[in-house]
Amino acid sequence: MEAKPGLTRATIMLSAGMALSGTAGLFSIESGQPTLNVIFFRCVFGAIALVGWSALTQGWKSLFIRDKALWPLVLISGICLVLNWVALFQAFKLTSIGFATIIYHLQPFWITLAGAFLLKEGLSRDKLGWICVAFLGLVLIILPKLGVIRADHDWLVGVALALVASLFYAATTLTTRAVKSVRPSVLSAVHCLIGVIVFAPFVDLAALQSGGNGMWGWLVGLGVIHTGVVYILLYSSYPRLPITVIAAGSFLNPVAALLSDFFVFGRSITAMQGAGLVLILLAGLAVNLGWPFVFAFRRRAAPAQES
């Protein structure tokens, strides 16, 4: 196959975007702020970055969504996205960046199930098999922590929030399918503006006043890097890459999250949890690429013999 123009550059952009996105939890925790404060300022600085980028590259007129029929879906997808951030970032604090990120990667399976039951897209035996593999991976991740769950119910709440976050992200993905006419950078900017409006009343000013010296650096980085730069890198690379490269690149997100946990907080995972991680990511790759669940040789029908 002939390589597409700019394939190498797009692959580098995708890899950088995925790796950076895996460190969002680190920025969130290091800011030392309550989750709602983190989300509010992520939306503020993310909106500034994305609005600026869209205006610079596409002109100010591109920022206006003129089709009023699209606005309900834009609002729903935006609310689901920011609620997904709230659940995920709180899960980071109650469990760990690595655990929450791994569980968060169940989102492709919610999309598959929703497509089957709500959109009547059909659910093949192969997809159902890989979904079972993914949830087996979830069981392997939780099993070594059963003792912790009995002693610390916050950990169980964190797992539940990571699952809720993956559900909200799946809902965002499904609703944005219907607004493909809106540029991704513009849609993301609008989503951030929705988040600013939703969470402004919940900002904890006392926590901001008592924040450390590096607080604003982490919050600005979370908005500009993880919402601005990351989204631009990913959305710019997706159209230029085959699905196989995109699916493989998604592995860099949990890897970066686990490395953040290990090198910054000294947290590691057991062999069983590592196996669970592999099963979830492998199943996600299989669903995205349409792999058969059972690999078998096709039987060739023997030619009928004439009597």
Average pLDDT, integer, range 184-195: 92
Number of Cα atoms under 13 Å in the Cβ half of residue 95: 31
Contact status, residue 34 vs residue 77, Cβ threshold 8 Å: no
- Residues above pLDDT 90, as percent of the chain: 40
Contacts of residue 175, defined as CB under 8 A and 6 or more positions apart, other chains included, come to: 73, 76, 77, 80
Q: How far apart are the two ends of the chain, measured CA to CA in Å? A: 47
Tens digit of each residue's pLDDT (9 = 90 or more) over 31-86:
999 999 999 999 999 999 999 998 888 878 777 888 888 899 999 999 999 999 99
Cα radius of gyration (the chain): 21
pLDDT at position 5 is: 56
pLDDT band at 302, cuts 50/70/90? very low
Tens digit of each residue's pLDDT (9 = 90 or more) over 119-146:
677 778 888 888 899 889 888 887 877 6
Q: Is 272 buried (19+), middle (13-18) or exposed (0-12) by CB count in 10 A?
A: middle
pLDDT at position 298 is: 42
Statement: residue 9 has pLDDT above 70 = yes
> Could you please report the per-residue DSSP string of 174-236?
HHHGGGTTS-HHHHHHHHHHHHHHHHGGG--HHHHHT--TTHHHHHHHHHIIIIIIHHHHHHH
Q: Which helix (H) or strand (E) holds 80?
A: helix 71-94
pTM of the full structure: 0.85
Amino acid (one-letter) located at 84 = N
Query: Coil, helix or strand for 62?
Result: helix
Place of tokens 């609703």: 175
Q: Is 14 buried (19+), middle (13-18) or exposed (0-12) by CB count in 10 A?
A: buried
Q: What is the mean pLDDT of the chain?
A: 85
Query: Coil, helix or strand for 1?
Result: coil
Contacts of residue 140, defined as CB under 8 A and 6 or more positions apart, other chains included, come to: 272, 273, 275, 276, 279
Tens digit of each residue's pLDDT (9 = 90 or more) over 238-284:
888 887 788 778 888 888 998 998 899 888 878 888 888 888 888 88
Other C-beta atoms closer than 10 Å to the C-beta of 39 total: 27
Domain ranges for the chain: 7-106+164-264
pLDDT at position 4 is: 54
